[in-house]
Amino acid sequence: MHISQEQQQDVIVVAPRGRIDSTTSAALESHLSQVAKAGVPRLVVDFSEVDYISSAGLRVMLTLAKRVRDARGALALCSLGDSVRQVFELAGFLPLFSIEGTRDAAVRMVAAR
């Protein structure tokens, strides 16, 4: 899976591309766990290039949220397409994440915390 990454202010923005399913989620998980290793992780996951997320992908996001929470860091998701948003919604996970419409808004929100 192609994963791009950049830093905006002190926030790391990770943008996976394509499908996050049982085949690709392991690569994303290992990438995110590397990124979340930072002392106090401040992260944004940008979903603008993600077409689909399966329950395996949701698990990766839950694991990341837990890691960030345990380290007292901050995490926001942004730019969820309708179908990706629906998967979070179906599982009842929308209340667990800070979700912003744009990358800039998500970076601002994480930087402010």
Contact residues for another protein, defined by CB under 8 A = 21-23, 26-27, 30-31, 52, 54-56, 58-59, 62-63, 66, 89-93, 95-96
CB of 5 to another protein, least distance (A): 12
CB of 112 to another protein, least distance (A): 25
Q: Supply φ then ψ for residue 47, to 5 degrees.
A: -100, 10
The neighbour count for residue 63, using CB atoms within 10 Å, is: 15
Q: How far apart are CA 95 and CA 25, in angstroms?
A: 22
Nearer residue to another protein within complex by CB, 24 or 103: 24
